[in-house]
Amino acid sequence: MTSSDDALVITRVVNGLGRIELNKAKAINALGRDMIASIDNALNEWRDDDAVAAVLITGRGERGLCAGGDIKAIYQDLVAGTSESQDFWAEEYRMNFDIANYPKPYIAIMHGITMGGGVGVSVHGSHRVVTETTKLGMPETGIGLFPDIGGTYLLAQTPGEIGMYMGLTGLPIGPGAALAYGLADTFVPQDKVDELVAALEADGTKAVETLATFAADAPANELAEAEAWINTCFAHDSVEAIIAALLAHGDEDAAKTAEVIKSKSPQSLAVTFEMIRTAKTMTLQDVLERDLRAGTEIAARPDLREGIRAQVIDKDRNPQWNPATLGEVEQAEVDAILNTEQDRKVFS
């Protein structure tokens, strides 16, 4: 257990409740390799501990539960040419699998920004709580990656073409859509969250019942009006066809969405499209194993380094993608990214 307020992940047991607090608020609790280890160690310790009846994960700070992985650290690894990112991903994906298969109630409070790796520590859990501040998304195509942490598995389970819309655009959704599309379970007003945490800590053996007493009416699904054009336009058989359909549709928001997609890494778009399309018939374990293969292959190509540089290093927001257009992305290259065998495995 790490109970010090200086720890990046604070873990402790309170009246039968295993508490995990992400404690890197200035970085919106972005996950580093040491944080992954702390979370997974706690989960493994509590798995067979009769003194722990349920687990609660929260993030300190008002900005959100977790903005994702520490992409600055990934950039440094790419520049140095080491295998640190590959090791990080393998350990993170194992943790995601542990969360998805945890034998006890796993409650995540997804306030504010919950993206990328933040989705991994929350949406895979059994009880996902959103508030009116929640911004849930997988924005990886904007940095030259793809929705990893089993993200394509989660997106493939959503109804219609919502998952393809989220995966290609990287746009976040709010609490209403998260609940409507099966990415969250319970709405609790933000001003009731502290009270909820206190009640859960009062008796962890009644965590599920306590959570139910705080559930409020779900807010409106903010994508409800867009569902028709999303389901029509994103049902096409290539990213290029999706963009063409969006531009031809006539809805102003559809046209804006096309422009959002066109700003992303063409290579990442093609890979993400294939991953979401095929994840519908895959297990989470197989998806996570594929995530590591694909991440390793993408890291060996220029777009991930360039995307992180443009977004968080130089912050010029002007990535020079390679290939520069979707037309230049060859299917053989996409297949190589997804299928090339790697020595490093998530599950040995």
User: Is 92 annotated as catalytic?
Assistant: no
Residue whose structure tokens are 């965590």: 207
**In terms of C-beta distances under 8 Å and separation of at least 24 residues, what long-range contacts does 254-258 make, across chains too?**
254/226, 254/229, 257/165, 257/169, 257/171
User: Is 32 annotated as catalytic?
Assistant: no
- Which amino acid does the sequence have at 181? Y
Query: In a 3-state reduction of DSSP, which class is residue 215?
Result: coil
Catalytic residue among 59, 64, 69, 307: 69
Nearest to 62 by CA among 3, 135, 133: 133
Cβ-contact 271, 338 below 8 angstroms:
yes
User: Is 237 annotated as catalytic?
Assistant: no
Catalytic residue among 16, 32, 117, 137: 117
Catalytic residue among 92, 148, 289, 306: 148
User: Is 140 annotated as catalytic?
Assistant: yes
- Cα 6 to the center of its chain, rounded Å: 26
Take residue 225 and report the two structure tokens written for it: 């009006």
Q: How many C-beta neighbours within 10 Å does residue 171 have?
A: 16
Catalytic residue numbers, as ranges: 69, 117, 140, 148
